[in-house]
Structure 1
Amino acid sequence: MAVAPEILKKMDIFEFLKLEELKDIAGLAKFEEFEQGDLIFKEGERAEKIYMVLEGRVSIEIEIYPGKRVSVYTLAKSKFFGYPSLLRTRKFTTYARCLDKVKVVSIVADELVNKIFKKDYHRGYLMMKRNAELIAQKLSDTRMQLLSLLQP
């Protein structure tokens, strides 16, 4: 089943784009489903896709020592994750674990960049600007979560 541009428009990473600007991006998008407890990705894995939550909740976790992970934030409907796929390092620095049965929209980052943003620099710029804003917010949220873990 094809992903409609209207679905992408509801996602925090794409909310600033017009429906017309989302049509070709929607053509690259796919639905994926995961079960409760599934890992969508692991720290250290090659980052190839970006994800947007449609249903369920995803815990973004860091490993504080071998075998022990803590959640730094939880994502729900319309939230974007997997941003390292759009960066040069292309490695995940966290784990993404499903807290419920989860349905996401995924897009292969190379396809998004090569088929869309290299041809339309303005859209690429706008999306990377929005990506930077979301990363900054996630870093702030993570900092607050880590500080709360250190409270006696």
Structure 2
Amino acid sequence: MAKVKRIGKDRLLELLRSHNFTRKMPRSHLAAIAGFAQLVHIRQDELVFSSGERPRFFYLLLSGTVFLEIHTPTYTICIERLHAGEAFGWSALVDNPYRAFQIRAQEPCVAVRIRADRLRSACRKNSELGVHVFQMMANLIARRLRATELRMVEFIGSPVRKN
């Protein structure tokens, strides 16, 4: 289980302001998000979440590398490596969430963990925040879909055009 590290709201705002996912947001939006976010430390090889579990958090990776994996009882496939500046756990932000992937830390990591229910609620109350979050999330989903497609093509052996 990721270990929560208590930090001041100003430091949390600074971390949110520096992350790719949130850097273009106005300070008022960042302040709202900081109210339901925590800094977490993740140990090497720790499963941040498993496929099939009900998602509760959205993560902004600040340092370290995690593996985005498809896991079954007989095999695990690494779809993509995610590095500092990337986000994961987007499925927690949609209605009827379901995790198709698992996230495992390749090395010790630090992330901002955001309560998805509170972020969804904030997006419903503030349409400007909602538009920003869901535009960024759409880009994130598109990148994940492309990474999954490329990885699956490797297994099938068909050539695919890289853009």
TM-score under structure 1 normalisation? 0.90
The alpha carbon displacement at 1:72 in A equals: 0.3
Q: Is the Cα contact below 8 Å between 2:69 and 2:103 reproduced in 1?
A: yes
- The corresponding residue for 1:14 is 22
- Rounded to whole Å, the distance in 2 between the matches of 1:91 and 1:59 is 18
Of residues 107, 114, 131, the one that matches 1:125 is: 131
- The corresponding residue for 1:23 is 31
The alpha carbon displacement at 1:149 in A equals: 3.0
The one-character-per-residue Cα deviations of 1:77-126 (angstroms, maximum 9, x if unpaired) are 01100001011121211010010011111011111122x22221121122
1:104 partnered with 2:125:
no
Matches within 5 A, 1:43-58: 43-58=51-66
- The corresponding residue for 1:137 is 143
- The corresponding residue for 2:93 is 86
The 3-state SS of whatever aligns with 2:77 is strand
Q: How many pairs are equivalent?
A: 150
> Alignment identity in percent?
25
Aligned-residue CA RMSD (Å)? 1.7
Q: Is the Cα contact below 8 Å between 1:62 and 1:94 reproduced in 2?
A: yes
Q: Is the Cα contact below 8 Å between 1:54 and 1:77 reproduced in 2?
A: yes
Give the unaligned 5+ runs of structure 2: 1-6, 159-163
Of residues 12, 16, 26, the one that matches 1:4 is: 12
Q: Which has the higher contact order (CA 8 A, sep 6+)?
A: 1
Give the unaligned 5+ runs of structure 1: none
The 3-state SS of whatever aligns with 1:145 is helix
Of residues 37, 41, 63, the one that matches 1:33 is: 41
- Rounded to whole Å, the distance in 1 between the matches of 2:64 and 2:132 is 28
